[in-house]
Amino acid sequence: MALHKPTRRGLLIGLGAGGALVAGFALVPRRYGSPLVAARGQHVVDSYLKLARDGTLSVAVPACEMGQGVTSLFAQIVAVELGADWRRVAVEPAPVSPVYADAVLGACWAPLTRPAWLPVLSADPVMATVAGTGLAAFEAPLRRAAAGLRMMLVAAAAARWGVEAGTLDTRDHAVVGKGRKLAFADLVEAALAQEAPEEPVLRESPARERPDQVALGGPLAFPRLDLPAKVDGSFVFAGDVRLPGMVHAAIAHGPQGDTVLASWDAQAAARVPGCLGVVHARGWLAAIGTTWHAANRAVQAMEPRFHSRHGIVADTNSIDAALDKALREGTRHRLWAQGDPDALLAQPSLSARYDIEPALHAPLETATCTARLEHGRLELWLATQAPEAARREGARAAQVRESAVVVYPMEAGGSFDARLDMRIAAEAAALARATGKPVQLTWSRWQEALAGFPRMPVAARLDAGMGPDRQQLLGWRARIACPASLRETAARVVNGEGAASARARWQDSADPLALEGAMPPYAIPECAVEHVPVHVPLPTARMRGGGHAISAFLTESFIDECAHFGGAEPLAFRMAMLGHQPRLAACLQGVARAAMWGGGGDASGQGIACHTMRLDTPEGLREGHVAVVATAQRQADAIRVERLCACVDIGRVINADLARQQIEGGLIFGLGLAVGGSTGYAGGRPLAGRLGQLGLPLLADCPKVDIVFIDGPPQLPGQRDAEAFAPFDPGELGVVAVAPAIANALFSATGLRLRRLPLLSEGL
């Protein structure tokens, strides 16, 4: 079967297509050969690179492209190290293989996925794109791969010219030196005949761009590789896959809770033109059709009914009651502490209660998976942040070995961590097994909202102890009631637990990662953060920003209250406690200048907030810092956010345009979570199941956005530029400080302190 030219509207994939993605996954041994397979005219260099005879370089990207530009970023790292011409660089998704396990993520999540009694001796391979760990995990191996190929090309050129290899270098896809030049294409065979260096020598300067030298709208040295296809419509998403003989499927899930399928009208489906059949399982009902619309009409016509076996369904009243009871009476786990503020806070100077509603991920592209099961071999085409988990779920449903499952990772039209949920792989595999045909299953927007796992709900009480003059913050305690959402997420993704099991086993466990960043960055003598785990009748999941988005809202809103309680100017109040945090202090100063900060008083409508994110890696601690000033005004019975200004320190900036896009996108995503994006539940069903019901900002509602980058900390004497500051992934940093900045701006504009997310959920 021939492979037709892919288009945005359709992709016909033949039996032999994508063979390079066939790979096994095993935990042992810990050394693996390259899983890449060369196409005609290509050579496999190592696990990350393939080089064609014409010199074209292909980079295997071990991360899910969700619009964040990771494919271009990783390719740029290789291109700079190799000395490649950007026009001769291509990318492809890396196959499912332990070669591409994210060791940084594995180390971070190891405490979540192991029993407490088992010591963490080494991190298990975790193949997932989440939490902004990809850059820290893969920059070094990508550079080593590129440096090794560069040295092989240089050695081949040196042998041909009879000169020392140390006198040559690579530039613009050629080896150059002593006034001579040899294109990579002329050296491919000779270079790959060389022995690969065991310890490649890296360039002194890694990939880097200075943001102040990359003008907005100006020419880019490394434009996004996926941009042309997205502009002309030829880019292929999961919904564009077309296979010979493929049928379509729509599905109805039960309400959130312990629900099972009870009844449906199969005859009603048979009367729908284009309906080919019905498949059902314990918790869902699907219709097969010649088109998705026919299948969806058939599902709706059957009017499936579900019932709860134990009366447990998601309901806002029961969720709020569980959180409230836990906050008052639940078992407290002290996650972090500096000193012990309990005695000081026996009678706190200031206390406040904050609440956060469950939030939906709401990606633009709903979940889609195409499955083909033939001769005991299952193939899956889907966008996934966890391809190994998708393979595991598909194998279970199709009743085949995991080694017989091939995952073709597709790019996602957004995710915000929704694509950590791999249930659709199991559903599509089950449908392919039941029908004997290739099946493309697509969730409707309503099903995405109904069946998706939302960000956890939160109730928190914050207490502060102030000095006699109310100018000094002496004690701080944050008591936060919420499910152990990261333990629950990791149990599903890494351990393969079902949603009901993960919720029952883990929600009432202490979970530091669910509340990352909750320890304030300020110098407070007595400070503690307590987690009160709570069971709620709703599975929960990680969302973009993770625990930091929760923690920053609580900390930065309450620190603003402390400042106003003492009559202090909010910026000065923060700066007085950041002497040990010069990078965060610099961000606050930078955003104050850029936003023309006026003190946040006199109904100025300005609010300020800041946050630090940290990531432990084998090479050391990486940090990202952000400060945001929001400007908001009250108009009639509404609030309009007019401007968001951010000052960001992500260390070494690799691609200034991508970094700016990610911070911009994060700010708008954070705005959406501040003013909407959440839902209540009744009878297990979300009250806001459509995009138009979520209160997300429209284009006309989006404020003016200004971003300033701090181009890394000062270089220390004797320290190489590459070592002076490690790059930090900006994908989540832009999200975290927006909601508190807007909340503080609304206080300035209205005099009302809004302590519930979304901020206007209870009106003005």
Mean pLDDT of 188-194: 95
Query: Taking 60 as the threshold, does the pLDDT of residue 652 lie above it?
Result: yes
Lowest mean pLDDT among 178-182, 448-452, 545-549, 716-720: 716-720
Amino acid in the structure at residue 191: A
Lowest mean pLDDT among 63-67, 485-489, 619-623: 619-623
* 8 Å CB contact between 748 and 641: no
Query: Taking 50 as the threshold, does the pLDDT of residue 545 lie above it?
Result: yes
Tokens describing residue 374? 């033939």
**What pLDDT score does 309 carry?**
82
Domain with CATH 3.30.365.10 in the chain: 41-207, 330-360+453-757
From residue 141, alpha-carbon distances to 77, 145, 151, 296 in Å are 10, 6, 15, 46
Q: What CA–CA distance (Å, rounded) separates 315 from 686?
A: 9
**pTM for this predicted structure:** 0.93
Query: Taking 60 as the threshold, does the pLDDT of residue 737 lie above it?
Result: yes
**What pLDDT score does 310 carry?**
79
β-bridge partners, 626: 611, 648
Q: What CA–CA distance (Å, rounded) separates 245 from 528?
A: 60
**What pLDDT score does 124 carry?**
59
**What pLDDT score does 32 carry?**
62
Span 669-678, pLDDT tens digits: 999 999 999 9
Q: What CA–CA distance (Å, rounded) separates 414 from 452?
A: 15
β-bridge partners, 405: 378
Q: How far is CA 467 from the centre of its chain?
A: 41
**What pLDDT score does 722 carry?**
44
How large a percentage of the chain has pLDDT more than 70?
92
Span 246-290, pLDDT tens digits: 999 999 999 999 899 999 999 999 999 999 999 999 999 999 999
Query: Taking 90 as the threshold, does the pLDDT of residue 763 lie above it?
Result: no
Amino acid in the structure at residue 762: E
DSSP state of 700: G
Query: Taking 70 as the threshold, does the pLDDT of residue 116 lie above it?
Result: no
Tokens describing residue 555? 């900390």
Spell out where 549-596 has E strands: none
**What pLDDT score does 764 carry?**
59
CATH number belonging to the domain at 330-360+453-757, selected among 3.30.70.1230, 3.30.365.10, 3.40.47.10, 3.40.50.300: 3.30.365.10
**What pLDDT score does 603 carry?**
85
Query: Taking 70 as the threshold, does the pLDDT of residue 3 lie above it?
Result: no
Query: Taking 50 as the threshold, does the pLDDT of residue 104 lie above it?
Result: yes
* CATH code, 41-207: 3.30.365.10
**What pLDDT score does 9 carry?**
30
**What pLDDT score does 619 carry?**
86
Q: Does residue 668 come out as left (phi exceeding 0), alpha (psi in the -120 to 50 range) or beta?
A: alpha
Mean pLDDT of 151-171: 97
**What pLDDT score does 712 carry?**
65
Q: What CA–CA distance (Å, rounded) separates 485 from 733?
A: 20
Query: Taking 90 as the threshold, does the pLDDT of residue 648 lie above it?
Result: yes
Return the closest-CA partner of residue 736 out of 560, 607, 551.
551
Mean pLDDT of 212-224: 92
Query: Taking 50 as the threshold, does the pLDDT of residue 27 lie above it?
Result: no
**What pLDDT score does 55 carry?**
97
Run of H or E residues at 285: strand 284-289
**What pLDDT score does 162 carry?**
96
Query: Taking 90 as the threshold, does the pLDDT of residue 362 lie above it?
Result: yes
Run of H or E residues at 106: helix 103-113
- Angle at 532 (CA atoms; ends 530, 535), nearest 5 degrees: 160
Mean pLDDT of 321-333: 98
Buried (b) or exposed (e) across 504-529, using 16+ Cβ within 10 A? eebbbbbbbbbbbbbbbbbebebbbb
Mean pLDDT (the chain, rounded): 92
- More confident call, 725 vs 106: 106
Query: Taking 90 as the threshold, does the pLDDT of residue 397 lie above it?
Result: yes
Query: Which residue's structure tokens are 């009639």?
Result: 636
